[in-house]
Chains A and B, each alone.
Chain A
Amino acid sequence: MKMIPFFGLVLLFLWSCGNPSTNAEKELKHLPFMGEPMLIQNDQGGVDTLWPALPAFTLASQTGDSITQLDLAGKIRVADFFFTSCPTICPMMSAQMLRIHERFGSNDQVVLISHSIDPEHDSVSVLADYAEKLGASAPGWFFLTGDMDLIFSLADAYGSFAEKDPNAPGGFAHSGALTLADRQGRIRGVYDGTNPEEVDRLILDMERLLAEAPDYGPEAVPVGLDYAQ
């Protein structure tokens, strides 16, 4: 008889666990928005929720063309930060980006962007050679070079990391992250580009973003621009 309250508690516990999980499943249909929302007072006396989107930039691609955020507008993008002479994790990241390119290469709603964090060495022609040997082609996959400080700050904006470090192999310390951003440039996921299983998940999440209405979620405002105006 003493056991009855115990079983009651167990049942209560199981029941309380069961309910939120179904709610969580509903929420999981959409990927989360990463970063801090900006709450802005509007003219009607209410508050608008705005979401930080990726900043404006101008960099050169492997074809020598100038690429800006406008070339990516309306597309789902996957970004990474690498350098062609990287002796450590970059080949793994490139191999995983190549998987994504092979999967989505013919889809003009998807663009991959690999930023060189060693732009001094990785000129347009070095990137063109790298892309060709890897089997990557524009406009589905851009390899970008340009101002190093801009590229480092883009890495930061993408939730990744890159810096010069004479003690690191190859002279640069950087993250192996692949960042997924939606059509409005809002970051929706960061994945370990050296882990094929994480990249499996990234590919599934890209499918979810492709199925999502382009205007879903809070309004996006590129960081670095004066959104109050």
Chain B
Amino acid sequence: MRSKSNLLLILGAFFILGFGALVLFLPKGEGATVKRGEKLYMEQCMNCHGKDGKGLGKLIPGLHHAELLQKERLICAIRYGKSGPLEVDGQVYNGQMPPNFALDDGEIRDIVNYVYAQFAEAPKSLDLPEVQDQLRNCAQANPRLQW
């Protein structure tokens, strides 16, 4: 009997320690959105912009350019894509970025926060209402959804 209760005690201790570790190390707040954004970036953006965000020659712009990281441009481009000439730091890019209508508002926030954390000179984090405000503005500014 005694060994059985010891065993229960040990199992219980493991359970509490394990659960505690899970709570402690689960990503929270800003860390969580960036972490989710990293996964989405690798699935949705990395093919073209590269794992390191450097883009591809003069074909695809890198994501370290401050003017591309303005939230108005970044958020709308992720949802609605981008076509036609785009001048960045004196270089004209003329590729096409496809729209991503399958991403919900929260996923766009996560990608934006990852991009800011990873590539922006002054990292910042946006919350969901800020992103949703901006998304409404893109549709108003460009009803044909060609951004």
Contacts and interface: CB of A to CB of B under 8 A. Distances in A.
Asked if A and B are interacting partners, one says yes
Nearest to A89: B47
A89 B43 CA distance: 11
B98 A91 contact: no
Interface stretch (A16-24, A130-138, A197-205): A130-138
Interface of A is mostly: helix
B96 A91 contact: no
Chain B interface residue bracket vs A: 10 to 19
A91 B47 contact: yes
A169 interface: yes
Contact of A92 (B47, B57, B96, B98): B47
Interface residues of A, number: 16
Interface of B is mostly: loop
A98 B47 contact: no
B3 to A, nearest CB: 30
A213 B48 CA distance: 39
B28 interface: no
A107 interface: no
A134 B60 CA distance: 9
Contact of B47 (A88, A132, A133): A88
Report the 6 A-B pairs with minimum CB-CB distance, sorted nearest first: A133-B58, A134-B57, A91-B48, A87-B98, A133-B59, A135-B57
Given A87-B98, A134-B59, 17 more contacts: A87-B48, A87-B96, A89-B47, A91-B48, A91-B56, A91-B59, A92-B46, A92-B47, A94-B56, A94-B59, A95-B56, A98-B57, A130-B59, A132-B58, A133-B58, A133-B59, A169-B98
